[in-house]
Chain A
Amino acid sequence: MQGLKDLLCRMASGGVDFVLAGGFGAMAHGSSLVTRDVDIVCRMEPDNLLRLHEATEGLRPVHRMTPERVPFTRDQAEHGQLKNLYLSSDWGQLDCLGAIKGLGGYAECFARSEPLDLDGHKIRVLSLEALIVAKRAMGRPRDLHAVLELEAIRERLQK
């Protein structure tokens, strides 16, 4: 069965502008925490959301925060004026965020990201430093574990 990594590769192939963030981004840097969803910061403009819609075509993407699990449609991508998207698909959960606390929007996150090769697909992931800033800004109890791991990884890599 295909999963979250394949979802990222599919978006990269589809030309979606995004930066990998959240727990999946932390895991890309070496965190041991298991995560069920992918958080990305993306340009929430219609052209980019249309590419996102096309990239998820056939994966039955639905808005998972709605009780009826309404399908994510092309019309919403084009005219929805969406700020965030919380999708569930056949390949996993995908959270598309317009901005990240402590960092800012797509442009700011892109500036604090680094390239990552995923099975030949070029994507961007928040830098270790930026992930620590974001996790500290979120400040939830569940972010503490991630912060401690990421700071330990940073120290370990500096040696």
Chain B
Amino acid sequence: MDRRCDRRRHPPAADVSTTTEHRTREPVQESPSLDVGKALRADPRAMAVRFAAGALTSIVAGVLTLLAGPRIGGIMLAFPAILVASLTLIYREEDAHEAREDARGAIAGGVALTAFAVVFTALVGHTSGPVTLLIAAVAWLAVALGLYRALWWR
């Protein structure tokens, strides 16, 4: 039987993976790689769920900005709605181990997200808007990759 269909009918228990569990501080042996074909074969329904999560978070952040001011609305710019959706989908389509691995990566991603906000706050008004966004995005990528390299890539 198809593994994915089977998992949908019988969702896995919290920890049924037979894969060796890595602790958060343990390095990952596999080198990072990008498979464009795999990305293009992504499940459209899963992408629709993520689109809805992203759109809803953006709108809620905008409404909060209108009601309570930009500082309060800004907090929602880092609301983990997408991570909630991703973890739930990964857990259902793959297993609990893969969901935990994804969440471990998001710890470094969260630190990088904070760096994005700090860099943007420091630079906006001193450089043009698009340049500030670009520098903040580069800072996010640099911190995310730097943390991954330092913590887990051997």
Tell me whether A and B are bound partners: no
Interface residues of A (CB under 8 A from B): none
Interface residues of B (CB under 8 A from A): none
